[in-house]
Amino acid sequence: MATATHRVDRDHEHIAEIVLTGPGHGNAMGPDFWTEFRLSVEALSAEADLRCLIVRGDGKNFCFGLDLAATGQQLGPLLAEGAVGRNRIVSEATSMQQAFNALAHSRLPVIVAVHGWCIGAGLELCAAADFRIASADARFALREVKVGIVPDLGGIQRLPFLIGEGWTRLLALTGDEMDAAQAAKVGLLTEIFADADQLLTGARTLAQRLAANPPLVVAAIKKVMNDRMEASVNAGNHAAAVQNGMLMQSEDFAEAMRAFMERREPKFQGR
């Protein structure tokens, strides 16, 4: 199974691996990603013989996050449409959220194996998984604040359950990076490996341990734990989408996009 944005590998009868491939630089997530990823997760979850899912990145990094150039081309025309455009932006965000909701709601336990950079939407994907492990060179950041938008794919809803309110606010409000050692210290990661090769071996070993357990019970435990935070995640996702519907028509968002394309620091005016 292969798509424009990822492929599915199988090296064990009960385990599948979704490998992020782009086509954006650093496996960045473009417009096609959200439907393709959701459909793959749903199809794999429906396979009776599968018992665990690994998500990893191809190449030198896990994921650079949202492909801003490609997404900008998709959403750009909506920014001049006033209230109609705002509603359509909220609708697009809600649709995109379903990709990571599918991962969180899957009956399969999900392991995310991170090497290199994990930025923005990449970190929000991680937050929707059950286990996060990484190589020592992994770096994590929520960069949305730097480009004039709210993280609206579940990250700032799910991360407080993983690392607490304070660390989530630090990541979301500063846009600063966190290295693998700090990520493990605050509870984002459960294990760190020396390099990408050892990371993949570790992910597959953990997957085999999970696959050895009774799959109906594993799915039930995951559902019960997810139900604790479901209402909070849903409410936060809706709020984030609505906020971005307004913010993406601001002067600061336009400045952020210009600065990104011109490779310079933005100058925000609060308008």
Give the whole-angstrom CA distance, residue 83 versus residue 245.
9
Give the whole-angstrom CA distance, residue 60 versus residue 140.
14
First to last CA, the chain: 46
Alpha-carbon torsion (216, 218, 219, 225), positive or negative = positive
Using an 8 Å Cβ cutoff, are 218 and 212 in contact? no
Q: Confirm whether 42 is a catalytic residue.
A: no
> Given 124, 165, 255, 265, which residue is catalytic?
124
Using an 8 Å Cβ cutoff, are 111 and 207 in contact? yes
Of 60, 207, 59, nearest in space to 133 by CA: 207
214-233 burial: b if 16+ Cβ within 10 Å, else e: ebeebbeebeeebeeeeeeb
Q: Confirm whether 124 is a catalytic residue.
A: yes
CB proximity list for 117: less than 8 A, separation 6 or greater: 26, 61, 62, 63, 64, 138, 139, 141
Q: Edge-to-edge, what's the strand order for the sheet holding 6-12?
A: 6-12, 15-20, 52-57, 110-114, 131-135, 191-193
> Given 13, 144, 165, 230, which residue is catalytic?
144
Using an 8 Å Cβ cutoff, are 66 and 33 in contact? no
CA distances from 143 to 64, 174, 203, 246 (A): 10, 8, 27, 19
Catalytic residues: 124, 144
